């Protein structure tokens, strides 16, 4: 994805799958430590959380709530995972769904942990993504979950995308890379502990 000053790049999920893959794998290993047997997890759309999904087979019973087709396809084959797929209008660029009543559907669920991804994290402008239809489900999951984890690789820090959805201190934990220096300026900022 080429970056040009003043121009928002177009999001391509297939391209993002390979981008920073090793970092995403490490982040998902760290996030896995927060998941407990019997949890109901909200798993966000995008490519960041995809390496986590194969690790869910180690649990005996989990429920995964998602609005992302790529997430649903990955967990549907796991016999130990109950899948709640939130539907609506399909957005191919992000392989996700959007609807006017999705936030209300999420708020009716008992979500233990919300694992949220983002395309941008900025101290002043907050946490953002590319697509406006993702804002409502992300915000509903953050508001509903007992614990909120932001899982982002360090390349997202200092970046602002078009669709704002949260402040950094809306999260209980921020899981990111220790290898990159961009995230170091976020240590001690806000209320969310930074797990690197």
Is the per-residue pLDDT at 1 higher than 70? no
* Residue 173 three-state SS: strand
12 found inside a domain: no
150 found inside a domain: yes
Stretch (H or E) spanning 166: strand 163-166
Distance CA 159, CA 188 (A): 19
14 found inside a domain: no
* Residue 135 three-state SS: helix
Domain containing residue 98: 38-195
Strands 147-151 and 81-85: unpaired
> Among 64, 173, 61, 57, which residue's Cα sits nearest to residue 109?
64
Is the per-residue pLDDT at 195 higher than 80? no
11 found inside a domain: no
CATH number of 46's domain: 3.40.50.10470
pLDDT of residue 99: 97
pLDDT, tens digit (0-9, with 9 covering 90-100), for 78-133: 999 999 999 999 999 899 999 999 999 999 999 999 999 999 999 999 999 999 99
Burial class (CB in 10 A: 0-12, 13-18, 19+), 106: buried
Number of alpha carbons in the 13 Å side-chain half-sphere of residue 98:
12
Strands 147-151 and 113-116: parallel
> Among 155, 187, 94, 168, which residue's Cα sits nearest to residue 127?
168
Token pair of 132, please?
Answer: 């406006």
85 found inside a domain: yes
31 found inside a domain: no
19 found inside a domain: no
18 found inside a domain: no
pLDDT, tens digit (0-9, with 9 covering 90-100), for 13-43: 455 455 557 888 999 999 999 999 999 999 9
Distance CA 84, CA 27 (A): 24
Instruction: Read off the pTM.
Output: 0.86
Cα-Cα-Cα-Cα dihedral sign, residues 8, 11, 15, 19: positive
pLDDT of residue 23: 84
Task: State how many domains the chain has.
Answer: 1
């Amino acid at each position: 994805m080429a970056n040009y000053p003043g121009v928002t790049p177009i999001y391509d999920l297939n391209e993002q799958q390979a981008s920073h893959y090793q970092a995403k794998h490490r982040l998902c290993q760290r996030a896995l430590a927060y998941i407990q047997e019997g949890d109901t997890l909200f798993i966000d759309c995008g490519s960041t959380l995809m390496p986590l999904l194969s690790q869910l087979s180690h649990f005996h019973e989990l429920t995964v709530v998602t609005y992302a087709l790529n997430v649903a396809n990955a967990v549907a084959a796991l016999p130990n995972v109950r899948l709640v797929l939130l539907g609506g209008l399909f957005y191919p660029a992000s392989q996700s769904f959007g609807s006017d009543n999705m936030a209300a559907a999420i708020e009716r669920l008992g979500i233990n942990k919300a694992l949220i991804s983002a395309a941008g994290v900025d101290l002043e402008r907050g946490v953002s993504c590319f697509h406006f239809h993702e804002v409502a489900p992300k915000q509903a999951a953050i508001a509903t979950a007992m614990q909120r984890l932001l899982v982002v690789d360090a390349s997202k820090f200092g970046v602002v995308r078009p669709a704002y959805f949260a402040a950094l201190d809306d999260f209980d934990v921020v899981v990111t890379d220790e290898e990159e220096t961009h995230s170091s300026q976020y240590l001690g900022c806000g209320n969310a502990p930074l797990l690197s």
